[in-house]
Amino acid sequence: MAMGDTSKTLTIDLSEGAVDDILTRAQGQGIFDMLVQLTGTVARVEQRVESLDQGVERLDQRIDRLEGVVAGVAADVRDLVYWKHKLWGMVILMGWLAAGCAGVWAFIGSHVSWTSAPANAMPALSAAPAETPTQVR
């Protein structure tokens, strides 16, 4: 590269195919029409993308609300499970108490003789038959 000459000249070589590359008015109008169509298509695509973005935002809001509902249901299920365990615990405890009372009653019955009570401890039943409802006036 020569350092002394700073002037540059531009030469255009119009060879045989170079003139064919220059657009005619009709070709330019066709390209312009295609660009207008592309611009309209891009605008429609942008509108669709915007509507999709809004739809995604609405879905995000619904998902957030659903997460709140699920958390509430999970708390309710935990409460139900807690009460189920508590209820079964009470049923088992009552069963043990019933079995224990039966055992205590059997123990008392085996150590206490009910026939050994004094005669005056229980009033004697009269030998007279009980009155029937038709006899009562």
CA distance 50 to 71: 32
102 in any annotated domain: yes
122 in any annotated domain: no
pLDDT tens, position by position, 114-132: 665 555 655 555 555 555 5
CB proximity list for 23: less than 8 A, separation 6 or greater: 31
Query: How much is the average pLDDT of 84-96?
Result: 93
pLDDT at 121: 59
36 in any annotated domain: yes
Question: Which domain range does residue 88 map to?
Answer: 24-110
pLDDT tens, position by position, 21-68: 666 778 778 888 888 888 888 889 999 999 999 999 999 999 999 999
> Mean pLDDT of all residues in the chain?
79
45 in any annotated domain: yes
119 in any annotated domain: no
Total number of domains constituting the chain: 1
CA distance 43 to 62: 29
116 in any annotated domain: no
